[in-house]
Structure 1
Amino acid sequence: MAILSTALTLKDLPPPPSGKVGWPWTEETKRYNTLPNYPRISVVTPSYNQDAFIEETIRSVLLQGYPNLEYIIIDGGSSDDTLAILRKYEPFLANWISERDRGQSDALNKGFRRATGKLIGWQNSDDSYQPNSFLSAANCLNQNPDADVVYGNINFVDEQGQIIEPYPITEAKPENMMPYSGICNHSVFYTNRIFEENNYIDDTLKHCMDQEFILRLLIKNYKFVFESGITANWRIHNSTKSAQQMDIWAEEAFALCKSVYRDRTLSATVREKAKESLYGLCLDNFGKLRLNLFRKTVREMVDTLGWKSLNTEFALKYIVSLFGVQTLTRLKRTKRQFINN
């Protein structure tokens, strides 16, 4: 295991599995070995039982044609074929471990503490980079030496890796990180200054860790620079955390917005966006039939904003929610039938 000082090609890597074609299986990027001022790029991948996708993630990192690369994979003790894949690519990894941890946030912090790069990225084990993203990130930093974070675009892709649609990346401002993330970890590279100044992932979070981390850095006035050449793929499939843990995300996102609203050191613009987000997240819980969480967030809104925050709509929805999911589902079905008739 070593830091790569020479750009890799397809010939350097193990052959792809049968039937896998295109990027990053049978296509590669141009090798960049002669251009000056290549900052070291470290990439950290937290992993747990993603053998269906992690090889694509690994190859999308190693085939960037980048000559100063440190790749670190922190596995949480996978019980599928992940470890066989890691051993297959072990000669090209700077560091990998497989051990039980306290979850994704804990794994990320382990990786970030090992990273030695000037730029440090985070790519999940079911997501990937598009070609030339590392060169674009390095060039962006060279052109903006005062940048603390460089970030780019994201595409939603399906289980087979086909592009579905772009993710709506927005300007790097605190108010654009609520209630949803305007910037996501998939296409972000942090400078080592971020971690040298003791900024790490909040390991109490299970789902909103990147949203909270980026929001925290923006509130601290770290400089973000957008670079369109950085592009990553966010895979949508049934076993993603996004699909399986929406209740956790909804609860953590609400708590994040509540903490921002309560912080009176922040600007009125940021706090107002946090307040609007509390209303939106609360109504989203009702619409998605997360009724226990809806009632909980209504009570928290009253505690945070006062009784005047409850308008007639919220009061009626709260009463209806007490009848349970089955009753509400029947009411919605009846409403649709009435509208259709």
Structure 2
Amino acid sequence: MAYKVSIIVPCFNHARYLEECIESVKKQSYGNWECIIVNDGSSDDTEIVSRSLENDRIIYKYQENKGLSGARNTGIRIATGDYILPLDADDTLNPLAIEKMISVFQKNPETLVVFSDTVTFGHIQKKSDLQEKFTLKELLLGNKLYCTSMFPKKCFDEGIIYDENLRHGFEDWEFWIQLMSSRRGQPFTKIDYPAFNYRSHPETSMIKEITGNNEKKEFIYHTVYEKHKALFHEFFPSYIALLNRKTFYEKKLESIYSSKPYRIYNFLKNLFR
């Protein structure tokens, strides 16, 4: 059976990379695909470029800005494929990507996700080395795979969608937690072929913005924890208590160090050294 694959390409102000991205889709060795470009309220030439690429297999959809999760959800809702492959508009697929990924589902229909390493290009050049096997417990501690991984459309239709509250990133991590926890035992399978190329930009990336912003980082982890609290308590009952105590004492110390008496004391101590 020739399964159909829907490639979902959200685009927010990445018109300059979009044609290269779509060209990589058109060069796939596997032929049964559709590609849905979702313009997430861009202010650049995304619409012009997308319209020039439109045909019976490349579909264009505009929406007011909802963020990456909202754009992916919009694309997947209108997708007609059996399997979904998200692809960011500034990245590219390698020619055998779909063929290699879909072959895993053909051999084992119980497979839940197919993922791979990636080659980073642009500002930084490197190849990833993702862990081949991991547990739900390990996934709860941090993301283990990229967003450009393939999964069955039926999972989305049954209610597993990208969380649109996570506008600052890590929405793919939370999505994989949903998938893995809802279908425990079904495999996440890594293929020995880099399915896609990840473009590195010299300007600040989303990951850097998150790691350098305590408020965003706290919001993301709080959202993921609150949504999957039962899972965290199942695997880390004492860890959560320890984490809460650690946070409490960190805040306590922070308030002490930033207090006026401490600043005066510290100033005088350094003055008379």
TM bin, normalised by shorter chain, reads 0.7 to 0.9
The CA distance in 2 between the partners of 1:323 and 1:228, in whole Å, is: 55
Indicate the residue corresponding to 1:86 in structure 2.
50
The one-letter amino acid of 2:256's match is: I
| C-alpha deviation, 1:233, in angstroms | 2.2
| C-alpha deviation, 1:67, in angstroms | 1.1
Q: 1:265 to 1:158 in 2, by over 3 A?
A: closer
* From 180, 183, 198, the counterpart of 1:221: 183
| C-alpha deviation, 1:260, in angstroms | 6.9
The one-letter amino acid of 1:174's match is: L
Equivalent positions of 1:1-341 (< 5 A) are 37-91=1-55, 93-159=57-123, 163-166=125-128, 168-186=130-148, 188-206=149-167, 207-222=169-184, 223=186, 224-237=188-201, 238-246=203-211, 247=213, 249-256=216-223, 258-259=225-226, 262-263=229-230, 267-268=234-235, 271=236, 275=240, 279=243, 301-302=244-245, 309=246, 315-316=252-253, 319-320=256-257, 322=258
Instruction: Verify the 8 A CA contact 1:154 1:234 in the aligned structure 2.
Output: yes
Equivalent residue of 1:91, what SS? coil
The one-letter amino acid of 1:129's match is: L
For structure 2, which runs of at least 5 residues remain unmatched after alignment? none
CA deviation profile, 1:247-305 (whole Å, cap 9, x unmatched):
3651244214533774168633xx269649x85xxxxxxxxxxxxxxxxxxxxx24xxx
Specify which structure has the bigger relative contact order, considering alpha-carbon pairs within 8 angstroms and separated by 6 or more residues.
Answer: 2
The CA distance in 2 between the partners of 1:155 and 1:110, in whole Å, is: 28
- Between stretches 113-122 and 123-132, larger displacement belongs to 123-132
Instruction: Verify the 8 A CA contact 1:261 1:272 in the aligned structure 2.
Output: no
Instruction: Verify the 8 A CA contact 2:132 2:190 in the aligned structure 1.
Output: no
RMSD: 3.2
CA deviation profile, 1:77-99 (whole Å, cap 9, x unmatched):
22212222212211264321223
For structure 1, which runs of at least 5 residues remain unmatched after alignment? 1-36, 280-300, 303-308, 335-341
Instruction: Verify the 8 A CA contact 2:140 2:232 in the aligned structure 1.
Output: no
Indicate the residue corresponding to 1:5 in structure 2.
none
Indicate the residue corresponding to 1:293 in structure 2.
none
Equivalent residue of 1:181, what SS? coil
Instruction: Verify the 8 A CA contact 2:35 2:59 in the aligned structure 1.
Output: yes
The CA distance in 1 between the partners of 2:208 and 2:38, in whole Å, is: 22
Instruction: Verify the 8 A CA contact 2:11 2:37 in the aligned structure 1.
Output: yes
| C-alpha deviation, 1:235, in angstroms | 2.2
- Between stretches 192-201 and 164-173, larger displacement belongs to 164-173
Q: What TM-score, normalized by structure 2, do the two folds share?
A: 0.80
The CA distance in 1 between the partners of 2:154 and 2:142, in whole Å, is: 26
Count of matched residue positions in the alignment of Structure 1 and Structure 2: 257
| C-alpha deviation, 1:69, in angstroms | 0.7
Q: 1:261 to 1:74 in 2, by over 3 A?
A: closer
